[in-house]
Amino acid sequence: MKKRFGRVKIFLATLVAVATIISPLQVPTVFAAETIFSDGFEQYGTSLTNGWDSFIGADTPTRTTSGANSWAVNTGSKALLLQGVDGGGHGNDPDDGAERQIATLGHAELSVSYFRAFENNLTTEDDEFVAEYSLDDGASWTVLESVTPVNPATPSAALFDIANPTREAKLTLRFFMNGTAADDEAAIDDLEVTGENPPLFHDGFESDGKFTGWTATGRWDEEAGDVYTDSRKGEVDGDTGGFDDTLSRGISTEGYEALKVAYNYRISESLNTGDHVYSEWSLDGTNWTEIADHTDLGDGDWTRGVFSLPSSASNQTDFQFRFRADLGDGSDEIRIDDVMVWGEKIAKSGGGSSVPPGKLIVKKVVQGTSTDSIDFEDFLLDIEGAGFSTYTVIEDGGMHEYDVPPGPYLVTETADVVWNTTYGGDCEKNGEFGKVTVVSNETVTCTITNTWDIGVGGSPPDTGTLIVTKTIVGGPASFGDLSFTVDGVSYDFWEAGMNVVEVAPGDHVVREVPPEGYVPTYGGDCDEEGNVLFGSGETKTCTITNTYAVGGDLPTDEPTFTPTPTATPSPSPETSSTTGGTGSSDVSDAMKDETESDMMLDEQTAAISGTLSGFVPCELGGFGWLILDVLIAGLIAYLWRGRRDSRWIANILLIVLVAAMYAWADTCGYGVPWFPIIPSLLAWLWLKLQSLGQ
C-alpha cells in the first residue's frame, strides 16, 4: 500500500528536490509536532473565509480556483490568490493582503509551512511577496520571507520555525503582495501551523458552555464572542450578592518546578475599588494563596498576565487553581481566555528525572476488514513527549507498554489513506494526533482504531456477501412496504424480496421491525435472533419470514366463511293441517333446499372474496364500509320487491356484498366484520322471509 505521510514530510522532500528561495531553513522534529491549524482554502465560494480577513491598508484577496490559475494550486482545486494593483507603482503598497489569528495552545516552539507560487508580467520588476507574523496581537511584526517573484514559478515549499518562549496565546500570520500591475500575482496553498513543547495545562474554554474539567459556582459562565482566541471564553458578570463565585480545577505539577501561570483577561465593564476578581492556588482546596487581584480597573482591551509561583507549588499532584469573583454591581464583568500553567522539568544530578515514571499503553484495533490482508508495516506509530520518543509498528489487537517520565505526550499513527484513524481511551483527539498526559505511578491507555474507508478504498479485499431474502405469509403487505437493518444500517427491500449487502468479517446482526400484524422469524445462516458470523470472503444467506397474525391467530391461505346457522322448526299440529296449508314433509323439503342453496351461496361468497381481496381499498375504513353496506342492502331489498326475474340480480348483489365484506376484513386486518355486515344479514333474512311467504 502507498503510505500517507504528513504535509511536513512532503515539504522536506520538496525542499531537497527543488531549489528554494529561502536559506537556511531550520527543520523541526517532525513527529513531536502537533497540528494546531491547517487550511487548504477549499471551502465553498471564492471569498475569504475560515477566519481569514484583509487588514488595514490592504485590498481583499480571493480564493482562486484551478483552470486559468492552475499555476497557483498545489493540491485540491483552490488557493489564496494575492494580486498587485494597476498604476501608481509601489505608492499604494500593500496591495492584496490577508491575515489570520491562530491559537498557539501555549506551545513554546511553532512551525509554519506552506506552498507558494508566483506569476508576474516581467521578471525584471521589483515586485515583492511578503509573509510575516506577530505574537503580540499585531503590535509588532517579524518577516518570515520577502520574495521577488520568478515568472512563472510552480508551487514550492516554505518552512519556518518560530520561537515562543513566553508561550503567547495568539499567533497572527499575514501574507501580502507589493506589485505594480494586476497580473503581479502570488498564491498560498496547503498552509499548516504546528506546535511543540506544550504547557502542562492550557484551556481556551472551547467546550461549548460546559467548562470541561472545571467546577463553576455562581455567575461564572462560558460564552461565545468577544474572545482572545478561537470562539469562546469564560466570564463572570453581575452582582455576586456578597458571595464568592468561583471557577476552579486541579492541575498536577508533578515533575516540574519554576512554575508559571498565565491567562488573558479583559474588563468589559469597569470594576471599582470594592470589586475583586482573584486568581489563587492551593494544595488542599481549603487554604488558598493569592496570585493576582483584579480591582479598580476601567474598560479595556485584552491583557495578558504572567505570574511566577513559589517553589512550594512545584512537583505537586494536588495542585489546584481558581478564579474567585466578589462583585457588587449588576454591570461588573471580566472575561478570561487561554489559561496556562507550565514549568521546567526536574532533573537528577546524574541526569534523568527524579520522579517515578508512569505507564503508557498503546493498543491497536482494525475495523472494516480482517487482518489477514493487512501489511502492518504500513502503520507507523510514533510517540513523542517529555524526554521519551519511539517509532515502531503495532499490529491489530497488539499492545505496547512503555514506562515513561510524567508529562504530556503526542501519540501519532501514519496510515494509508484508505484508513480512517481515530484516537480513544485516555488519548484526546487533537488535530491529527492523540494527546495524553502521563502521571507518575499511574497507567494511561491510548487506543488507536483504524477503520477501512469504503469511499476511498472501495470494498475491502476480504469483504463477505450477505444475502437477505424475504417471505411474506398472508396479509396486505408487499416487499416495498418492508425494510431491514444490518448492524443498525437500514435497507429497503427490493421488489423481488432479496437484497445483497457487503459486510466485513466478524459478527453482524440482521433485524427487522415488521408492519403491524406481522410476526418475523429469522432463518438460513442467521440464528433465531438474526445474528450471523462471517469469515473472510464468505457468502451467507439470511431469511426473514413475516407471518400475518392479527389478534394472535395465524390466518390460513384462503379465508373461510362460516354461515350463520338457520334453525329448522319442529312439526306441529298447525303445520300438519291438510286444509289449504303445507304439510310438515313439504316444509322440511323446502328447508333442506334452502340450506343447500345457502351452502352454495357460502361457497360462491368465499370464492369471490378471495378474488376481490386484491382490489379492496383499506383506506375506506370500517365506517365507510358500513355506509356502503347499507346502500347496497337497500338496493337488494328494492330489487327483490320488483319483478320475479330481477331477483337473480338481488342474489348476485348479496353474494358480492358479503364476499366484499370478508375480503375487506381479511385484507385490511379487521378480523370478522360482524358489525359492518349486520345490514347484509338483515337483508338476507328479509329475503328468506319473503320467499317463505310466497
Q: What is the pLDDT of residues 88-141, one digit of tens each?
A: 667 778 989 999 999 999 999 999 999 999 887 655 567 889 999 999 999 999
Give the rounded percent of residues in the chain with a pLDDT score beyond 90.
35
Comparing C-alpha atoms, which of 512, 465, 519 is closest to residue 493? 512
Residues 446-473 have a mean pLDDT of 81
> Mind listing the pLDDT tens digit for each residue in 145-197?
998 877 677 888 899 999 999 999 999 999 999 888 888 889 999 999 999 89
Do 201-345 and 464-552 have matching folds?
Answer: no
Helix (H) or strand (E) holding 678: helix 678-693
Rounded to 10°, the helix 584-612/647-668 angle is 50
Superfamily covering domain 7-196: Galactose-binding domain-like (2.60.120.260)
Tens-digit pLDDT profile for residues 283-298: 999 999 999 999 999 9
Average pLDDT rounded to a whole number, residues 227-247: 93
How far from 79 is each of 44, 55, 76, 187, 435, CA to CA, in Å? 12, 19, 8, 6, 30
Whether residue 231 has pLDDT greater than 90: yes
Tell me the HSE value of 590 on the side-chain side, using a 13 A CA sphere: 13
Q: Look up residue 179 and give its three cell numbers.
A: 506589485
Closest CA to 320 of 249, 254, 370: 249
Q: What is the CA radius of gyration of the chain?
A: 42
Helix (H, G, I), strand (E, B) or coil at 8: helix
Answer whether CATH 2.60.120.260 is correct for domain 201-345: yes
In the structure, what pLDDT confidence band is assigned to residue 650 with cuts at 50, 70 and 90? Answer: low
**Residue written as cell 331489498?**
637
Residue 597, pLDDT above cutoff 60: no
Grid cell 492550557 is found at 202
C-alpha neighbours within 13 Å on the C-beta side of residue 68: 4
pLDDT of res. 184: 85
Cα–Cα distance for residue pair 694/568, rounded to 1 Å: 19
DSSP class of 353:
B
665: cell is: 376484513
CATH class belonging to 464-552: mainly beta
CA-nearest of 666, 377, 627 to 517 is: 666
Gap between the Cα atoms of 340 and 106, Å rounded: 7
- Between CA 191 and CA 115 the distance in angstroms is 7
**How confident is the model over 426-448, as a mean pLDDT?**
80
Fold of 358-457: Immunoglobulin-like (2.60.40)
Give the chain's length.
Answer: 694
Tell me the domain boundaries of the chain: 7-196, 201-345, 358-457, 464-552, 584-693
What pLDDT was estimated at residue 63? 92
